[in-house]
Amino acid sequence: MKRFYWSLLLLFLWSHLAVEAQTTAKTSALKKRLQARLDSLQKANGFPGVTFAAVLPTGEVIQLAAGLADSSRKEPMKPSHRMLSGSNGKTLFLASALLLEKQGVFRLDDKIEQYLAAEPWLDRLPNARTITLRMLMNHTSGLEEYYELGDFMQKVQQDPARTFTPLECFSYLFDRKPLFPAGTSFGYADTNYLLLGYILEKISGKKLYDIAREQIIKPYQLTRTEPSVKQSFRDLAVGYSRAGGPFPFSGAMVQNGKLVFNPQFEWAGGGFVSNALNLASWAKGYYHFQPVSEDIRTQMRQGVKANTGKDHLYGLGMQIRPGDRFGYGYGHSGWFPGYISDGEYFPELDLALGIQFNTDDLRFLKKSTHTYLLELAQLIVSQP
């Protein structure tokens, strides 16, 4: 009888090892196909470099890179390289906000005037009496983009190392007309998230970066993600910004080991350095954000019509984009001078993807980051 049970156990172990070996072989073959595609895209389009990561339905992780992290030094891009992730960081700030909502600090449809009544500048803010916190979260407030106004860029150019308070940033909107009446349309602007962050820190007495670090970055093991509040970062790829962009800098965004200007002012509008794997992992994590209720998760995924692309929607800190036959993808793209990023989760496939380019020049990218991810997703699902 013992011999019989030992035989069964050995058969089970052999079967398990055989399946594991088969899975590993398939993943290895898939990595080669994906690497070949990345190499081909980089050479054909001419962008400096790219990193890509996938979290497969099996839980297996793929990390790849192509091209150069530093064109002048001919340094190869590696999966470990990091980049400014731009507006993708809104997902971390919004998750932090939802944790405060769970604690009863605020409600999504509270009007901002409830929390800013004592501010002497309240009525200088467009739509001040009609904006709700939800409208800030889904960009339907009617507020325009602060950094395109007044002398903001002149100040950055004159003193690239300077820091800005959130109030300094959104004060550029004071006494201006709104883009539209609050809640009637969509207008994407970092201003919404700076004002949201200002309010939440004021009423909670907590720093959003601290909440994100302790309750999101650590639990979700986003070990390559940190606040972009300085000019030097370990393993930062050199980003290359196009001439004629909104910022008064072009060419290499890292010189002598430092960013050419302080990214600190981006704050709740993005405000993180990350890598492709962390973007992919967190896209899935945010979609399934377990610390909040199912009702809140449903509201996160309920989007308003967005003008960011055909049939695009925007939820609570979440871009919702059509994924062809894959259903909708949930995540967020991001731009910062010299860098373009995206992290997206396709629930119908249980597939999470992340991608980063160290250029913001669309002449080289030729298509959106979302389109790149759809092409790579197709390659993954068509794997024999």
pLDDT digits (tens, 9 = 90+) for 118-153: 999 999 999 999 999 999 999 999 999 999 999 999
How far is Cα 73 from Cα 71, in angstroms, rounded to an integer?
A: 6
How far apart (Å, rounded) are the C-alpha atoms in residues 355 and 361?
Answer: 15
Of all residues in the chain, the percent with pLDDT exceeding 70 is 94
Question: Does this model's pTM top 0.85?
Answer: yes
Per-residue confidence band for 17, with pLDDT thresholds at 50, 70 and 90: very low
More confident residue, 206 or 23: 206
pLDDT (tens digit, 9 = 90+) per residue, 272-304?
999 999 999 999 999 999 999 999 999 999 999
Q: Determine the pLDDT at residue 25.
A: 83
Note the pLDDT of residue 23. Answer: 57
38 pLDDT higher than 80: yes
pLDDT-derived band at 167 (thresholds 50, 70, 90) equals very high
The 10 Å Cβ neighbour count of residue 347 is: 17
384 confidence band (pLDDT: 50, 70, 90): confident
